[in-house]
């Protein structure tokens, strides 16, 4: 079995030079160690099933909070901020969802700390825990007794905690468009500086290098860059693959020679069978015929030997090199499983290029999978700081998934119980891509090598394909009624990430978004009609979790609309039929944006901005967030105050404006004009220059005089024209 590391912190193992790179001191290291030790002793994250919200994540959030705090010139209540960072994800340990874990964690913290620390501290920390998990940035102080200064201090700490949490988004191992930290949504300038300087990727890499080195200390095998062992695993699989293809081709010959039944390439659901499914049918056909034939007996013997060796090696690949045990969880199939595969290269492709919408694939004439980079720099952005780790698993824990498979390839191997890997080897993800490309295991079609028309087609196809996942979320409707909207928002975030930064891309965004809106509306209307038909036919309520009878038929209908039957290319006849709808969608967006702007309020402006950018995330509070301390201090720059629209002022405000404010503004305006006139550069007097350049001063004087006369004449002419028009 692989080396299992005890629960521990890893920032304490950073050298002084490494700390200095992140603006941290030995004192910061000691505080981080104290807090992580406290989390371990209290078992705050020991039993969490959510590996994305474990102690390692919390330790890095504490680290980022200190990095931000060290660069802020205001005094912050360090104790409150650090404890909020330490406890911010305890709701996840209790099994709460993303939407609920802030509230549940906040309530749990209050129960844990009641009578142990000051009630005011409990209230502030619980507020910070609650706020970090919701989209809204501004804390609601309507039912609290905090002073303005205290509110500003608490708000600042909330901004720091939310930013520290966001800076660790690269742990999510999703494509950058989904998983990356968006600098535009960070609240503090200090966090923006950390992200823009590349420190988050650097810290992530340093952090996991230390974890790998800790595992290496107690491992008999080389973990990092063990290409010999990887090549050995690949050779073993390829040998099995060759034997499997040999058995399949040999059966074809025997079917002609001995009159055996031909094997259909598709199952009863119309899905393409795996080679293993076909071989199993071939074996049954031979046994049914009860033929005593040496050729067939040898074939059966070879087949049985292949089945024994087939899953001798079982693998799981991940961009997380710190896994000690794999825990069953929900994925594409009904039920909770640990997923494995017998092909290391297939594992690598699934782990590195998780989203087939962002990284579509096709096979070349030799059957080699080509990964297409259809968005700029998307491979580097996703994998630059990551380590790809192969985990070899005990094969006796797995069985082949035999049920109907709709959202993932068939031929998967699954385990319903917790699985501890036997061994692991880790590589830089980008280095591994280079190796597999050199070895001909995969191909990469870079963004730069695709023409503009190819990119347009592939990007649109990518977005339209992602609607299959949108439809797939139907089965989660009962547990999460908002799941469809959440999926749609995620799709838009993915699109905006790549398409809204440059003028040309914004134009592309404006072209694609109306199409997607129209397709979504078509799908939603189609689902309503589809479900109504099911209710009428069956007389029962729709079972949204019925994949075979409910989900699969509708997804198949959607594919028939989107793709041409023979070629698999986009069906532009259907897409072009949405033109009228596209115009309506554009008009709707303009009307909604105008309505939002007409509200003339800060919230209205933010909503309108989000509508125009198709951004359904929380509004960005910007860098001028209110900042202060619990104890009154002198603040260098106060929060920006936005005036309400004059049209919404009451009569008293209007009177005061006319009698006091407006005259004062006029006086200030006059003073500013006078000051600007004094500050204007003086016009140089025409004087005879010294005779050092041989130039003529009289020529310069004449030219200036002529220019002055012409200017006066033109100005007079314009004046007369305007005067005659007004008259």
Higher per-residue confidence, 57 vs 604? 57
Mean pLDDT of the residues in the chain: 78
For residue 271, the model assigns a pLDDT of 62
What local confidence, expressed as pLDDT, does residue 375 receive? 85
pLDDT of residue 272: 64
Predicted confidence band at 269 (pLDDT cuts at 50, 70, 90)?
A: low
Taking alpha carbons only, the member of 338, 351, 342 closest to residue 397 is: 338
Compute the residue count for the chain. Answer: 727
Give 273's pLDDT tier (boundaries 50, 70, 90).
Answer: low
Average pLDDT over residues 419-437: 96
CA–CA gap between residue 507 and residue 512 (Å, rounded): 9
**Partners of residue 318 on adjacent β-strands:** 389
> Residue 4 CB: number of other CB atoms within 10 A?
12
Per-residue pLDDT of 595-636, as tens digits, reads 433 333 333 333 333 333 333 333 333 333 333 333 332 223
- HSE-CB for 86 with a 13 A CA cutoff: 23
pTM score: 0.72
Residue 514 Cα to chain centre, angstroms: 22
Residue 393: what pLDDT? 96
Q: Which of 143, 132, 142, 151 is nearest to 58 (CA)?
A: 132
pLDDT of residue 114: 93
Angle, CA 126 vertex, CA 125 and CA 129 arms, to 5°: 90
CA distance 417 to 396: 12
* Position 39 confidence tier, pLDDT thresholds 50, 70, 90: very high
Q: Could you read off the pLDDT of 528-566 as tens digits, one per residue?
A: 999 999 999 999 988 888 888 888 899 999 999 999 988
Among 60-69, 676-685, 713-722, which range has the highest average pLDDT? 60-69
pLDDT for 84 equals 97
Unique residue bearing structure tokens 């060290």: 70
At 274-325, the pLDDT tens digits run 667 777 778 887 777 666 677 778 888 888 888 878 778 999 999 999 998 9
Give the pLDDT band of residue 172 (cuts 50, 70, 90): confident
How sure is the predictor about 680, in pLDDT bands with cuts at 50, 70 and 90?
Answer: very low
């Amino acid at each position: 079995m692989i080396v299992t590391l005890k629960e521990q912190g890893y920032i304490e193992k950073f050298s002084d030079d490494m700390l200095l790179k992140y603006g941290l001191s030995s004192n910061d290291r000691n505080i981080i160690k104290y807090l992580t030790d406290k989390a371990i002793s209290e078992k705050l994250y020991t039993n969490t099933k959510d590996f994305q919200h474990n102690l390692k994540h919390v330790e890095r959030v504490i680290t980022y909070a200190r990095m931000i705090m060290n660069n802020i010139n205001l005094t912050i209540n360090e104790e409150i901020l650090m404890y909020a960072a330490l406890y911010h994800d305890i709701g996840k340990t209790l099994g709460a969802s993303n939407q609920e874990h802030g509230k549940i964690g906040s309530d749990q913290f209050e129960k844990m700390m009641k009578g142990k620390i000051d009630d005011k501290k409990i209230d502030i920390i619980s507020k910070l825990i609650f706020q970090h998990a919701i989209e809204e940035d501004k804390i609601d102080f309507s039912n609290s007794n905090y002073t303005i200064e205290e509110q500003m201090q608490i708000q600042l700490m909330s901004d720091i905690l939310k930013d520290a949490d966001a800076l660790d988004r690269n742990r999510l191992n999703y494509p950058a468009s989904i998983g990356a930290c968006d600098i535009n949504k960070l609240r503090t300038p200090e966090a923006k500086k950390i992200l823009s300087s590349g420190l988050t990727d650097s810290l992530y890499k340093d952090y996991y290098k230390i974890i790998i080195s800790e595992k290496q200390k107690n491992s008999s095998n080389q973990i990092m860059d063990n290409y010999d062992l990887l090549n050995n695993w690949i050779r073993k699989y390829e040998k099995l693959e060759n034997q499997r293809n040999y058995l399949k081709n040999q059966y074809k010959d025997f079917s002609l020679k001995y009159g055996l039944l031909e094997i259909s390439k598709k199952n009863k659901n119309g899905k393409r069978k795996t080679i293993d499914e076909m071989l199993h049918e071939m074996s049954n056909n031979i046994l049914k015929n009860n033929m005593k034939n040496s050729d067939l007996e040898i074939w059966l013997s070879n087949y049985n030997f292949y089945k024994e060796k087939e899953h001798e090696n079982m693998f799981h690949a991940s961009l997380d090199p710190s896994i000690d045990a794999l825990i069953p969880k929900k994925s594409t199939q009904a039920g909770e499983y640990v997923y494995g595969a017998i092909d290391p290269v297939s594992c690598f492709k699934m782990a590195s290029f998780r989203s087939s919408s962002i990284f579509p694939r096709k096979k070349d004439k030799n059957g080699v999978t080509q990964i297409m980079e259809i968005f700029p720099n998307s491979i580097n952005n996703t994998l630059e700081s990551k380590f790809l780790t192969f985990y070899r698993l005990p094969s006796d824990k797995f069985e082949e998934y035999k049920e109907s498979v709709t959202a993932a390839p068939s031929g998967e191997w699954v385990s319903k119980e917790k699985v501890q890997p036997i061994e692991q080897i880790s590589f830089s993800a980008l280095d591994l891509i280079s190796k597999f490309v050199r070895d001909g295991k995969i191909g990469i079609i870079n963004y730069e090598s695709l023409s503009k028309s190819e990119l347009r087609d592939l990007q649109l196809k990518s977005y339209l394909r992602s609607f299959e996942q949108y439809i797939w979320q139907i089965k989660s409707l009962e547990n999460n009624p908002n799941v469809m909207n959440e999926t749609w928002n995620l799709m838009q975030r993915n699109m905006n990430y790549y398409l809204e930064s440059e003028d040309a891309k914004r134009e592309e965004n404006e072209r694609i978004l109306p199409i997607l809106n129209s397709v979504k509306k078509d799908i939603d209307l189609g689902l309503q009609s589809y479900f109504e038909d099911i209710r009428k036919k069956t007389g029962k309520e729709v079972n949204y979790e019925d994949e075979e009878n409910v989900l699969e038929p509708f997804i198949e209908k959607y594919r028939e609309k989107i793709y041409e039957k023979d070629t698999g290319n986009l069906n532009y006849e259907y897409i072009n039929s949405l033109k009228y709808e596209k115009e309506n969608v554009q008009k709707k967006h303009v009307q909604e944006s105008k309505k939002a702007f007409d509200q003339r309020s800060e919230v209205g402006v933010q909503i309108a901005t989000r509508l125009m950018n198709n951004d359904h995330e929380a509004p960005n509070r910007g860098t001028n967030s209110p900042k202060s301390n619990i104890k009154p201090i002198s603040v260098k720059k106060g929060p920006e105050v936005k005036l309400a629209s004059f049209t919404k002022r009451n009569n008293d405000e209007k009177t005061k404006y006319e009698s006091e404010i407006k005259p004062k503004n006029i006086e200030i305006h006059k003073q500013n004009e006078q000051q600007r006139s004094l500050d204007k550069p003086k016009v140089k007097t025409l004087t005879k220059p010294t005779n050092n350049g041989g130039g003529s001063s009289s020529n310069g004087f004449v030219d200036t005089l002529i220019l002055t006369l012409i200017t006066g004449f033109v100005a007079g002419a314009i004046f007369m024209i305007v005067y005659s028009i007004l008259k």
